[in-house]
Structure 1
Amino acid sequence: MPTSPETPALPTTRPPAFPTTRPPALPTTRPPGCPFDPPAGYAALRETSPVSRIRCPAGFETWLVTRYDDVRAVLADPALSSRGASSAHVKADLDPYEEADPGSIIQLDGAEHARLRKMVVAEFTVRRVERLREYVREQVERHLDAMLAKPGRADLVQDFALPIPSLAICELLGVPYADRELFQRQSSLLVSTDQEAGTTDQAFHELAGYLGKLFAGKQQDPRDDLFSKLIVRAEAAGESLDLDELIMLGLSLLVAGHETTANMIALSTLVLLEHPEQRAQALADPPRAVEELLRYLSVVQFGVLRYATEEVEVGGQTIAAGDWLIAALNSANRDEDRYPHADQLDFARESPRTHVAFGFGAHQCVGQQLARVEMQEALTALFRRVPGLRLAVPKESLAYKHNTLVYGPEELPVAWSA
């Protein structure tokens, strides 16, 4: 595929909304009774129309890319810009043509993105994250102690799955965990797909205001955390890193750093409760099990949006400059051509780490190593200490986050024997 300018420009006007014949809508409805599976329409599209024209809730047409190899190619191609935001296509009132804010590591491309990523990636390497493993393990054990002190029943989401990644990302970034109610509440609004624009804007400004005050303090009195280090390094190198950039960078890392992993821990727990015959195999090799769970569940449920800055070819289909594409991560991870019996959970699967649950290419999730450690420690300790864990309600009564960018159970009531 061809390469693109380092800072591709977005158009100043929208293309016509739709032709006379409108294409089908983005598949969003999961099969009844199958909470772990992506929409059934993806399998048919992979077979008959792997790069197909669809319409999305945001009111414009896109190309939907569903096969594994094509999704990887889309995510790796610098001619396909991330400027439109990761999942703008599912928010009806969001304008994907708006320019990215300074510091938005998810949306920026080229040199701007590389500069920000270089600043933070050193704190998310395998070696650095391994030094956090003991801290994560201590928090897992502490929260299990508190949960098991309850009279035989708890909500695994609020009592366990959500606190673990929240604590870890706070520890890494230097955000006081005591303020978790504020950032968890605002984060849930920001990842929702059906909030009114005013509600989302207010959540953004409240969280940005909070981080602005926090980072202004770090500029005056740096500590031993990621953002303090960024400030010190930038000053030492004579680089510019203003408060607005810090706020957007912090917001991106804070929201993504706990929302995705919290939902993965909760949904993975439910999967292991549903597959007790495979639990021992999973717990015998937690790293491999976590990779298969990431592939199988793919909680970033609506894919990621890309904008063609020039003409490219994807899966034999010519994509014109100015067109939008959706890389369907959950469809790619269920592609039978890449993963035989892809709809089956298989902890003995060869090379499960090739999945695209964290994306691929330049914008691949910077916090993926931390997410892996959190999942490994949380799931291993949970089933080691509570082997009799079970659902406290009928599984048919569970509600799921169909209206958020990140999928998972709303609540997960669990019980255990004394």
Structure 2
Amino acid sequence: MDVALASLASAEGMPTFTDQLDTNGWNRFGQREFGAKKRDTWAMPPAVSTLGWLDRVPAMQPVREAFAADPVLGKRVDEVVGVEFSLKARQLEWLLIKELLEPMVVRLRAYRFEPTAFAEAYSRLESGLRAAHVRVVEFLPLNALQVTTDVKQLCLDGDVVLEPMTDSHVSWAISRGAVPAEFGGGPLFVSVEPEHQWALTLTRPYPIMSTADLPENPAAPDFPSLLEPGQRLVTALRIVCGGSAVVTRTILQQHDDDFPIIGGGSAVLSAVEAVDYSRPTLLTGEHLEDLAAIYGWLGTPTVTGDVMLQRALVRLVFAGAHRYAEDRLADLMTCGEIIFIKRLGHDRTPTKGDWVANGAADLLRDDTVVAVDTERVRSFIRTNDR
């Protein structure tokens, strides 16, 4: 690195920093703003990115020999490396440029060797190359979920977590159509509202391997696995908070904090459900305990095995996504008929509205949120069951 930096200083003088087009993703510029640009990045001289540039430095040969002699590092460079379901070629020369040379140039903003900067960059490089596992994150973005600042995350069962997306998660969600992104300020900039920047996440470790370690029959990751938890969370949000939040598309990528090992990511390009963005679900700290409890309850055999209740819950979720109040009301009346008529085995009669009205009145008799007398509930149901 010392020789390479001295060579650059002689040929280039000082490094140049500029905004550059980023074809790999969207970078955060503000709370809502993302751009296909990287700001104030090192404009790498063409010679550096030319294959073999670093190998022409005489001191590079001993480095190669040292890596080759190490029983771990020798398998982690100039090999196809990754996890069982995703491997890519990793060249030592480019690895040293990206993980050692570039960080020092960016930190010092000069072509000079500085021991502390080198030590920190090299420590990350070697620990990353020697790591036995890498964490892979599956995440499922939610649209129309407005979260107050007192909520940091919500841990659910099975290591599933509701939390804000990282910048790289939002970038992937934009590129895969999992969040609504509006262009603004030209084709290189988009806006994503904060209520579309939360997701369900599930993190799993996978062993790092090279082609020599690959099993005879490589296994695919358990993906997607968040579809059922995601729909269960949406149902719990409808019950506890109301609004129109929905889940979109599951995406798989390496954990942001781990040394880069997996190239790119994967996404299930499923259909995105309808949602009324004007009525986002509002989640506050006061809701968390009830939300976690309802989420868990919805996954119990008693609930999953209740066919009629499941039908009613589906209609409840549909109701929340409608834009117009009359459409929401129609679906909610259908919920009432399923719960208070079909589920209880009552016959469908011209006075079926009485079954719904009486059932709803009994259910809400002591409800402190609705807080109205039972006759008003009966009157409301009968008026709208026409």
Q: For the superposition of Structure 1 and Structure 2, which TM-score range results when normalised by the shorter chain?
A: under 0.3
Question: Would you tell me which structure has more strand in proportion to its own residues?
Answer: 2
Question: Would you tell me which structure has more helix in proportion to its own residues?
Answer: 1
Q: What TM-score do you get using the length of structure 2 for normalisation?
A: 0.21
Q: What TM-score do you get using the length of structure 1 for normalisation?
A: 0.19
Q: Which has the higher contact order (CA 8 A, sep 6+)?
A: 1
Structure whose alpha-carbon radius of gyration is higher? 2
